[in-house]
Amino acid sequence: MSQTLIENAHVITVDAARRELPSASVRIDDGVITEVSTDPLTDVGSEVVRVDGRGCVLTPGLVNTHHHLYQWITRGLAADHTLFEWLTTLYPIWAGIDEQAVHTAALGGVGQLAMSGCTTTTDHHYVFPREGGDLLGAEIAAVASLGLRFHPTRGSMDLSEKDGGLPPDSVVQTIDEILTASADAVDRWHDPSPSSMLRIALAPCSPFSVTTDLLRESASLARDLGVRMHTHLAESPDENTYCDEHFGATPLQYMESVGWVGDDVWFAHGVEFGDDDIARLAATGTGVAHCPTSNARLGNRICRTRDLVAAGVPVGLGVDGAASNESARLLEEAHQAVLMARARGGPTALTTRTALELGTLGGARVLGRDNEIGSIETGKLADLVLWDLTGLAHAGIDDPVAALVLGAIPPIRGSWVGGRRIVADDELRTADLDAVAADCATEHRRLLDKAG
């Protein structure tokens, strides 16, 4: 039995009582938290790995509920465009991705996530060029090598430029191709077990890049297979206009008409939800991935995070694709969530503790895993981050949550996924990030050269 003991840390549990323990120990046995105590733990084996947490704060591992990992190698492009302009500029470049590009991009994107406290991430991969190869498999292999818990989604598009959509013909597929590939992905990779490191969801891209038939068929297939459903929704005013002109409905009204609400569904962004939408999301348990940095980068309006949380909507945080959030650091999203909410609703709109909760237990709830991860409690999986607050950037900040959420991103003394330490003393143990950076630069140049 492997055993780790993290001692003398300030523990932010995010448990039901929201306990914060100024000097506590957390014991991990075979990947599971077995004890959380303010008393010294003495009943441990002689082979226990002891980690001194003095000067540190221990939190649940952060959960990223929305990403596009392939975009890591197309950062910095179309930096001053609207959402639709940005998409039409980048789609021809993304049309050149292949297994090598996606594998490298996933290493870069997830490496960055790990160094900002992420232990579980999703990915929404919806671009499948005909000659691209096994793109979903490429990113799954990359994330497995880094050691994070992974919830990739098998995305899709079947509405191309010639049919009134935005993507070029070369990256869309037929409904039959999509449904077959989606079922194969679930059969090949989805692991529903309680300690699963890999779960698949189905994720048609957006109302303006897929047909109504694909949305209906994907919802039916997902529920037949027992997997979750994800898509973009209500991201910008342009989308509101599109849905009104094409469907005579708001984005959420349209999605509900095709079976896309429920506690097995989560939407990315949700910037444009109105009062009725928020009430409906809450009543159905439909989740939202809040991506404040990306929303601001693309010049979209400010998500009504306070109203969503107050209504009881499951809300998590997401970095979104690195082509619209070049830093892609998950802890930074908690910071931005506070700033954006307060810019919209005043100084009490969102507390620092609520923001941290969105990044931990909130994200776990969005992914249907809040009984396994997202808080520091006995019986839960040991997905944990030990943040070092002893340096200049944080020393003297009395409130450790304020230090985390409002201050600079601290060094990570240790990060564990299922009890396995993947970060130690602010270095990723599972990859050489300098080598990954060089490979990402190479793939970036190769992809741009292919696009001409």
pLDDT at 1 over 70: no
pLDDT, tens digit, 9 for 90 and up, residues 335-368: 999 999 999 999 999 999 999 999 999 999 999 9
Q: Which residue has the higher pLDDT, 45 or 38?
A: 38
Strand partners, 315: 288
Enumerate the H helices of 119-232 as residue ranges. 135-146, 175-189, 212-225
Q: Which residue has the higher pLDDT, 135 or 162?
A: 135
Among the listed ranges 1-10, 262-271, 281-290, 338-347, which one has the minimum average pLDDT value?
1-10
What integer is the mean pLDDT of 117-133? 97
Determine what percent of the chain is predicted with pLDDT higher than 90. 90
Residues 230, 267 contacting (CB under 8 angstroms): yes
In angstroms, rounded to a whole number, what is the distance separating the alpha carbons of residues 268 and 392?
36
Residues 309, 282 contacting (CB under 8 angstroms): no
Residues 443, 28 contacting (CB under 8 angstroms): no
Residues 99, 128 contacting (CB under 8 angstroms): no
Distance set, CA 86 to CA 76, 313, 451 (Å): 11, 29, 16
Cβ burial of 76 (10 Å; 0-12, 13-18, 19+) is: exposed
In angstroms, rounded to a whole number, what is the distance separating the alpha carbons of residues 29 and 1?
7
pLDDT for residue 313: 98
Structure tokens at 70: 């392939």
pLDDT for residue 181: 98
The DSSP bridge pattern shows strands 287-290 and 315-317 to be parallel
DSSP string, 12-38: E--STT--EEEEEEEEEETTEEEEEES
The structural domains of the chain, ordered by start, are: 3-61+374-426 (2.30.40.10), 75-366 (3.20.20.140)
In angstroms, rounded to a whole number, what is the distance separating the alpha carbons of residues 233 and 240?
9
Q: How many CB atoms lie within 10 A of CB 30?
A: 12
Report, in this order, helix, strand and coil percent for the chain, each rounded to 5.
40, 20, 40
In angstroms, rounded to a whole number, what is the distance separating the alpha carbons of residues 285 and 226?
17
Per-residue pLDDT band at 41 (split at 50, 70, 90)? confident
Using the Cα atoms of residue 362, residue 365, residue 367 and residue 369 in order, give the sign of their dihedral: positive
Structure tokens at 93: 């470049």
pLDDT at 381 over 90: yes
pTM of the model: 0.97
pLDDT for residue 165: 75
pLDDT at 132 over 80: yes
Give the relative orientation of helices 99-114 and 433-451 as an angle to the nearest 10 degrees: 140
Residues 257, 221 contacting (CB under 8 angstroms): no
**What is the distance between the terminal CA atoms of the chain, rounded to a whole angstrom?**
55
In angstroms, rounded to a whole number, what is the distance separating the alpha carbons of residues 380 and 34?
8
Which residues, at least 6 apart from 385, have a Cβ–Cβ distance to it below 8 Å? 58, 59, 60, 61, 62, 117, 119, 412, 414, 415, 416, 423
